[in-house]
Amino acid sequence: MKPRAFVSSVMEGYGDYRNAAREAVIACDGEPVLIEDFPALDSSPRSACLDGVMSSDVLITVIGHRGGWTTPSGKLAVEEEYEEARKRGKRNLVFVHEGPRDADAQRLADRLSDYVDGQLRPTFSTPADLKRAIEAALPDKFRTIRMEPIDVSDIEGFFAKPHVIYDHPTLRVVVMPERKDQLIDPVGLDEPELLDAIYAAGHSARVRLLSYERRKTAKVGIKELVVEQVDDGNWREGREEVRLEIRTDGTIIVDANATGRRPDRTLGMATMRVVDNEVADLLTSALRFSGSFLDSQDRFKRFDRFFFNASLANLGYSSFGPALAPGTNRMTMGDHGDRVHIAFEPAKLIRREDLSSPDQLVADSVKMFSRRLRSREA
């Protein structure tokens, strides 16, 4: 995992200098983040830039001859990006173009030079000068960033104590970033915007993990936000219970009942059968939810690789396989007790795109569940 550096400067007429900054970051074995590289987004350029700052480890501020665009806050765009980096504790470097500057650029150069007493603000004249200056200064910043991945065994603890939904077999899905870092500020766990992002992702037509008809509760912890969808209706009409745990480090945990979700699956022998296709649908919804939520919080993929695993628990005597044919009065029984059946050992390392297009991951998970559960059925 490479450290990321966001390049902040005016854009119009400054392409050669921004490209020089890009090349310098690459030369220092980092990943450059520039707004012109961003995909089409449904947010304003201002919001996209601030998100880009948040997704990076180092801010490179390049002050040119012009101050540039003034935002609705009355501050220059480059100034807002610098303040966002300071607020989030990002490391920063400032480079000042030699020569005359307009009043806004001069004010910005003076202000940023006052932020840290005694810190040199390198100057440059040409794109080549800027590239050399960044290459000289950036390695020290990168060396202080611990790009420490989590250990794959860190995910195992989330399966030790399964969440139980009444007497139903329960599916748990865990998506944990490989990168050890903070995705969500703990102070902001109670912000309405975060809950809105969870609901928007969970209710979307492509995800359908949450239902508008079901009641929901939210509880804020120290490092996690837990949202539960509870079913107060007639259980014979199907029960769609879901528990979502969103942790500040970006870990997402999804629990849902694996049986009894449809009206025709709430009576008789159907209640003793965990249907593989229904588990596949739940896995798809959980993974797509994770991808959609992460896209809303980390648009520029600071978190790009994840550990994934899933488990089935509370199966008791339930069996696992295709849906029983109508009228079936005999089936194989399981003997699972209170065992937790985990799909993969060790957890799988996946990419961000596997969350939005999870078909192969879902198929592999169902196949592993089938293999593991078959040995306990007779």
pLDDT digits (tens, 9 = 90+) for 104-146: 889 888 888 765 443 457 889 999 999 999 999 898 878 766 5
Question: What pLDDT is attached to residue 234?
Answer: 65
The amino acid present at 176, given as its one-letter code, is M
**What distance in Å separates the CA atoms of residue 324 and residue 326, rounded to the nearest whole number?**
6
Share the mean pLDDT of the chain: 86
> Which is more confidently placed, 47 or 221?
221
pLDDT at 119: 47
Whole-angstrom distance, CA of residue 174 vs CA of residue 343: 11
How large is the average pLDDT for residues 211-217? 94
CA distance 209 to 213: 12
Distance (Å, whole) CA 210 – CA 198: 10
In this prediction, residue 271 carries a pLDDT of: 65
Spatial distance between the Cα atoms of 26 and 20, rounded to a whole number of angstroms: 10
DSSP H or E stretch at residue 349? strand 348-351
Task: Report whether 114 contacts 7 (CB < 8 A).
Answer: no
Cα distances (Å, whole numbers) of residue 171 to 26, 66, 189, 284, 312: 42, 57, 25, 12, 5
Q: Where are the alpha helices (DSSP H) in the chain?
A: 15-27, 45-54, 77-87, 103-115, 127-143, 192-203, 276-297, 352-356, 359-374
Q: What is the pLDDT of residue 55?
A: 82
Say which residue the tokens 């989590």 belong to.
150
Q: Looking at the predicted structure, is the pLDDT value of residue 42 above 60?
A: no
pLDDT at 342: 95
Question: pLDDT higher for 375 or 4?
Answer: 4
Predicted TM-score of the model (pTM): 0.77
**Cβ neighbours of residue 287 closer than 8 Å, sequence gap 6 or more:** 173, 175, 308, 354, 355, 358, 361, 362
Residue 150: what pLDDT?
65
pLDDT at residue number 118: 36
Tokens standing for 12? 């119009």
- Interval 241-258 mean pLDDT: 96
Read off the pLDDT of residues 139-194 as tens digits, 9 standing for 90 and up: 887 876 655 666 777 898 999 988 988 888 999 999 999 888 889 999 999 999 99
* Helix, coil or strand: residue 345: coil
Q: In what order do the strands lie in the sheet with 123-124?
A: 31-33, 4-8, 58-63, 91-97, 123-124
Measured CA distances, 348 to 177, 323, 364 (Å)? 12, 28, 10
Asked if residue 222 lies in contact with residue 248, where contact means CB atoms within 8 angstroms, the answer is no
The percent of residues above 90 in pLDDT, for the chain, comes to 52
For 83-111, the pLDDT digits (tens) are: 888 887 888 899 999 989 999 889 888 88
Mean local confidence (pLDDT), 196-225: 96
In the chain, pLDDT over 70 holds for what percent of residues? 87
For range 197-218, the mean pLDDT: 96
> Do residues 10 and 18 touch, judged by C-beta distance below 8 A?
no
Question: Does the structure show a pLDDT above 90 at 364?
Answer: yes
More reliable by pLDDT, 300 or 221: 221
Contact 337, 363 (CB under 8 A): no
CA 195 vs. chain centroid, Å, equals: 15
Band of the pLDDT at 290, cuts 50, 70, 90?
A: very high
Measured between alpha carbons, how far is 359 from 283 in angstroms, rounded to an integer? 9
Question: pLDDT tens for residues 309-363?
Answer: 999 999 888 888 888 776 665 556 666 778 899 999 999 999 999 999 999 999 9
Question: Are the beta carbons of 142 and 3 closer than 8 angstroms?
Answer: yes
pLDDT band at 38, cuts 50/70/90?
confident
